[in-house]
Amino acid sequence: MAFARTYAVTLVGVEGIIVEVQADLEPGVASFALVGLPDKTLVESRDRVRAAVANAGIEWPQRKLTIGLSPASVPKSGSGFDLAVATAVLGAAELIDPRSLTDLVMIGELGLDGRVRPVRGVLPAVLAAAEAGYEQVVVPECSAAEAALVPGISVLGVRSLRQLVAVLTDTPVPDEEPDAPGRPDPLLSGFSFPGAGIGAPSQTADGRRLDFADVAGQHLARGALEVAAAGGHHIYLKGPPGAGKTMLAERLPGIMPALDRTAALEVTAVHSVAGVLQAGGPLLSRPPYCAPHHSATMQSLVGGGNGLPRPGAVSLAHRGVLFLDEAPEFGAKALDALRQPLESGHVVIARAAGVVRLPAQFLMVLAANPCPCGRHGTQGDPCDCMPSVVRRYQARLSGPLLDRVDLRVDVDRVSRAELIGTGKRGESTETVAARVLEARQRAEQRLAGTPWRTNGEVSGHALRTRWHAATGAMQAAERELERGMLSARGLDRVLRVAWTVADLRGHDQPDAGDVEAALQLRTGISRGVPSIAGGAR
């Protein structure tokens, strides 16, 4: 009997579990058995590995072969086990010293020609290996940069099984034939899945960088977006078509602070698992932007799929912006499914194959027309919709969902003077972003030592017991609570927004003016507040 073992990683959501890949060769009729709860893709590795070994010029052992994946009770999925299975077989056949495999974690798919192809989820897999105490990983050459983002890990990138065998047997490493110049790398074919609504456009059609100064007018909406970015507050933009709702939302990631390393690793790991991270791409340091179409299903929003669920739009927007344009056109079940991640910052999906917990701490931007024709409440352009149609249309956004949205802003049509540029030009993205960063830093200093980083995350109990507004500042909000205009959750959210407005204005504690501004943003009712954010201190 001959035996060898090495290690691979299986992903459950965005969390990795180390799997011991064991190979056992015994005398008998040549066969290949794979045990340990493999899925269909993993079962097919038997044929991929056999062909890859043969085409690498290595003799396949003609004996009874059993591959065991341990722990056997954990479901395994994906083609990333191919490299570990192939090396374990060669170790059991004593073509590789089995002792050289025991401290290695192998991640990669094998082509029939022996090339090592990239797989999704390399970053979270390497993170799991590092947390388990492993110091060396083998990955596809084109994924080596992604794996190297994990500190304290030695990464070996290989392009073929022949190269890996040469390294493990201490023989000269062969050179692979280069691909035809100018042609895309065939190894990356089918690796990424575009069209997921990821990424805000960074430039206009004429090549200019997106800038907040391009937004004509909309001073209230601009201030509300500044508050949203500074405090991590969800926002609802309501207005007629062409008023600039999408334009504003696309510029929101630009004024948000860059991600720190911990957050950047979280975001990059999610995108790697989802297959929307370019192979060899750098660490994602900017807040992501995800704008799914209104025909998106509940599974595509919160996560799902066959077998173990995969990340949905709420996870792809983790630490960034989730923009739902034409929000009333989304399915009611899909919208209501957002209520749990809006509160908790993560989504838990239960399927027959297992339960997955995915991160989903995002800033949500809802945009909607006032009615199906979009002209309800506008001057000089009468609405054609029946009152009952308008009520039904607006009721598509449920009360419980809107109660979790801190800011509600009417985006009116811009005036002729604002549109043609005769008015004062708005502040640039750089100016607003600097003020947002300063407000975030004030909040982080106040929240140091707590599990929260922004005002939008702080629990209502903590706000009421630890961080009070100035004496008498909450009277207006408390009156709205007594009148039934605010719920208890709404009162807490007014205080959250008031703290963000105070941070933007440089106040040590929210005063009556800050609370009035927060009430205006929460209820959508004008209270004559001249400046919402910090642009006119």
Residue 128 has pLDDT above 80, yes or no: yes
- 359 CB-contact burial (10 Å; exposed 0-12 / middle 13-18 / buried 19+): buried
Count Cβ atoms below 10 Å from residue 398 Cβ, excluding itself.
Answer: 12
C-alpha pair distances (Å), 441 with each of 144, 259, 266, 447, 517: 34, 13, 21, 10, 21
The band of 195, judged by pLDDT with boundaries at 50, 70 and 90, is: very low
Over range 482-490, report the average pLDDT. 85
Residue 411 has pLDDT above 80, yes or no: yes
| CA 155 distance to own-chain centroid | 25
In percent, the amount of the chain with pLDDT more than 90 equals 57
Q: Which helix (H) or strand (E) holds 456?
A: none
Q: Which helix (H) or strand (E) holds 238?
A: strand 235-238
Lowest mean pLDDT among 57-61, 87-91, 274-278, 433-437: 274-278
The band of 536, judged by pLDDT with boundaries at 50, 70 and 90, is: very low
- 115 CB-contact burial (10 Å; exposed 0-12 / middle 13-18 / buried 19+): buried
Residue 172 has pLDDT above 60, yes or no: yes
Over range 479-497, report the average pLDDT. 88
DSSP helix/strand/coil, 299:
helix
Closest C-alpha among 156, 160, 163 to residue 122: 156
- What is this structure's pTM? 0.87
Instruction: Give DSSP secondary structure letters for 50-119.
Output: HHHHHHTT-PPP-SEEEEEEESTTS-B-SSTTHHHHHHHHHHHTTSS-GGGTTTEEE--EE-TTSBEEP-
The pLDDT tens digits for 285-303 are 899 999 999 999 898 899 8
Q: Which helix (H) or strand (E) holds 447?
A: none
The pLDDT tens digits for 300-350 are 899 877 766 788 999 999 999 999 999 999 999 999 999 989 988 999 888
Mean pLDDT rounded to a whole number for the chain: 87
Token pair listed for 118? 């990239």
Lowest mean pLDDT among 4-18, 108-122, 175-189: 175-189
C-alpha pair distances (Å), 59 with each of 45, 90, 93, 95, 219: 17, 9, 10, 9, 72
DSSP helix/strand/coil, 2:
strand
